Copies of this chain bind each other. A is one copy, B any other.
């Protein structure tokens, strides 16, 4: 980017806060990365990428609070600047990127209604060719997203998490936060052979052995460190290949020192640098959507979990924007 001023001029059109204000992280309503607030996304100017909050945490079984995730990630995202110095790109300026607000959660009491509302919203993104980058909410929000995005064609899936999330029905429902990838796979929205689980350290062997049977790959935390982060990224790229791919990050993939504010923390996770580097290693994949889930502000400390969540969501946004720009230039 040779001309900073030119870039700043471009930026003015993407930001909710005026150009004089966007350097001030405390100023103005908090939108994701201070992007334009676009509640009119269906009726207003076309949108390429939607930043979406999904404030539902009914799928949690232990510590709740992820419903407060979107607000606090928005708040902390003001501390993330508009330019990615390691990827040397900005997700703003060239595409229409907007914060469309939160998915309307119809009920805090009924997982089925919640899942339907999410699916329906994301179907409308698909219909308008808008790529969604989402902030949860708990991990149960991912299944209805996969359902909408993977309906035409099963997606590859890069899943970064402390837990495998291949659990079965619990207390009468299979829509809880431990199910998105088993349901997504069984129902054909993700392709198990193009699915990889990274940083896992939960008691997965007690879960159904579905993952192995259908050909998913698991890189548990020991393997993660034995391989090193760059090799893990390479392995993930190999697994998902060129097809449409979804990335889902559970913030509890990070160690509790980096992400105390989450519902089911597991000691012994990766660092935030490793998570960023891993994502940078996924450049060039055909990413058609992504989410960052399980940030639970009531259990956070000093906002560091929301800040880490915001940063990883920003990295996801960069990957998504880059892919869209590339595919546009091809077509």
Q: Which residues of A approach B to under 8 Å, CB–CB?
A: 1, 4, 7, 16-18, 20-21, 23-31, 37, 39, 53, 55, 57-58, 60-65, 67-68, 71, 74-75, 79-86, 88, 99, 101-102, 104-111, 113, 170-173, 176, 200-208, 220-222, 225, 255-258, 260-261, 264-273, 275-277, 298-304, 307-308, 310-312
Contacts and interface: CB of A to CB of B under 8 A. Distances in A.
A282 to B, nearest CB: 15
Most central of A65, A173, A202 by chain B CB within 10 Å: A65
Contacts of A207: 4
A23 B266 CA distance: 15
B86 A220 contact: yes
B269 A308 contact: no
A60 to B, nearest CB: 7
Contacts of A26: 55, 62-63, 67-68, 71
Query: Residue among A16, A84, A258, A268 with the most chain B CB within 10 A?
Result: A268
Contacts of A60: 108
Contact of A203 (B83, B257, B264, B268): B83
A66 to B, nearest CB: 10
A85 B265 contact: no
A105 to B, nearest CB: 6
A21 B55 CA distance: 11
Contact of A172 (B31, B105, B109): B109
B260 A302 contact: yes
Contacts of A222: 86, 277
A134 to B, nearest CB: 15
Given A31-B29, A102-B27, A1 B205 contact: yes
A201 to B, nearest CB: 6
A71 B62 contact: no
A220 to B, nearest CB: 7
13 contacts: A17-B104, A23-B170, A24-B108, A29-B74, A29-B102, A61-B108, A81-B202, A81-B203, A83-B205, A109-B111, A257-B304, A268-B275, A299-B302
Given A75-B75, A176-B109, A202-B85, A29 B37 contact: yes
Contacts of A170: 23
A273 B302 contact: no
